[in-house]
Amino acid sequence: MSAGPSPFLEVFRSRRVAVVTVLGFSSGLPLALTGATLQGWLTVAGVDIRTIAWFSWIGMPYLLKFMWSPLIDRYVPPWLGRRRGWMLATQLALAAGICGMALTTPEDSLLLLGLFALWVAYVSASQDIVIDAYRTDLLLPPERGMGAAVGVFGYRIAMLVSGGLALILADHIGWKSTYLAMAALMGIGIVTTLVAPEPAAPPALPRSLREAVVEPLRDFFVRPRAIVLLALIVFYKLGDALAGTLTTTFLIRGAGFTPTDVGLVNKGLGLVALLSGALCGGVLLARVSLYRALMWFGMLQAVSNLSFVFLAWAGRDYGWLVFTVSFENLASGMGTAAFVALAMSLCNRSFSATQYALLSALASLGRVLFGPVTGALVASFGWANFFLLTFLAALPGLWLVWRLREVIVTDR
């Protein structure tokens, strides 16, 4: 008599997990277009490094998205329901904004390009709010670890497309055609939103805007050691975020690789390593405690930043490039899977949009708020010392994981 499928295999057969994977693609597609790919565009166009570093503030909506997330928790569009209605609206707005970027250039109108990019970042952050909330509402507790992993999987595939593939395409067909192609790919998210299921037991709608603003915060801050938990959210990915702020510029200008090299190795091979890390992280999350996953994966994230130090010393060395990209992305994928599982475990489903938006915004603090500082650090200390500092920036997060080990196990 044959046994039925294991609960682990059942997770892979879940329609909910499949939808989360594709929505991860929709969520990840715009980020590189206002981040690493735009950074490559500006670098090739000859924009100075300090100006490029200031462009990292275009990501400020990702940091501030908790400010308008209560509106998404409270109000329901007249189409497709509370979560899917907002997803459709943001996806259509993203396609329009990316087209706007395609019709401008850094040489002719750097300010206008920046404004279009800011709009894309704002709408992308809004899409993230609702997709994160939808995922939290939709997935059953046994699906959260793998759901976090496949969400990262879809997200990073999108970043390969809008990062690595976009850089390669730009080398051959130009930036305008590349960005128009990226706008068309938002159609994948639109179709998925139209066919996605509703949560089996939708959480109650806040009765007023005041309740949507106040109750999520009250609910979170009455928990034991809530402030220290927020500090963990800020610091856990800080070193990883700082290291990634100027990676594209470092590889092109600092190490001397071409945009095609960056597209093929950093984005292509890097994606394979990152997806492997995310899926490996998802498998391990189903077998070990969340505390152990956060600690082990966080240690790998920190050490992986040191590989950039050796690449900075080696220069245009393809062996070091392959090792560095593979190691860093593998560790980052595992760390991100653990972080997303932690964030979902901390959210009350009645306020999932607001609470998850707050947590993910705090996680973006290093990448966005300190972006301009990274340019000054590189200019003052050089690339090798900069990446050494990003390793040191990862250590407080590991200490906080250890400090909160009992709370993390309880929330799990």
Give the Cα separation of 330 and 48 in Å (integer).
31
| Least confident segment among 4-8, 382-386, 408-412 | 4-8
Give residue 95's domain range.
12-411
8-state DSSP, 257: -
In a domain, 36, yes or no: yes
Amino acid at 73: D
4 within a domain of the structure (yes/no): no
| Cα dihedral 43, 47, 53, 59 sign | negative
**pLDDT band, very low/low/confident/very high, at 88 (cuts 50, 70, 90):** very high
pLDDT at position 142: 65
In a domain, 5, yes or no: no
pLDDT surpasses 80 at 211: no
Report pLDDT for 181.
93
Average pLDDT over residues 349-361: 73
Structural domains in the chain (count):
1
pTM: 0.67
Residue 6 lies in a domain: no
Q: Two tokens at 97?
A: 């904004």
Which residues are within 8 A (CB) of 246 and not within 5 positions of it... i.e. 6 or more apart?
39, 52, 53, 374, 375, 378, 386
Task: Kindly report, residue by residue over 30-41, the tens digit of the pLDDT.
Answer: 988 888 788 888
Q: Is residue 392 part of a domain?
A: yes
Indicate if the pLDDT at residue 9 is higher than 60. Answer: no
pLDDT at position 6 is: 46
267 inside domain: yes
Residue 377 near residue 248 (C-beta atoms within 8 A): no
The CATH number of the domain holding residue 195 is 1.20.1250.20
- What does 100-125 look like in DSSP terms, one character per residue? HHHT--HHHHHHHHHHHHHHHHHHHH
129 domain residue, yes or no? yes
Q: Answer yes or no: is 16 within a domain.
A: yes
For 289-317, the pLDDT digits (tens) are: 788 888 888 898 888 888 888 888 888 78
Tokens 């996953």 found at: 293
- Say yes or no to pLDDT of 3 above 50: no
Angle made by CA atoms 78, 20, 394, in degrees to the nearest 5: 115
Inform me whether the pLDDT recorded for 7 exceeds 70: no
d(C-alpha 301, C-alpha 335), whole Å? 7
pLDDT at 250 over 80: yes
Nearest Cα to Cα of residue 285 among 34, 97, 11, 94 = 11
The amino acid sitting at 225 is R
**Angle (CA) 161 152 239, round 5°:** 95
19: helix, strand or coil: helix
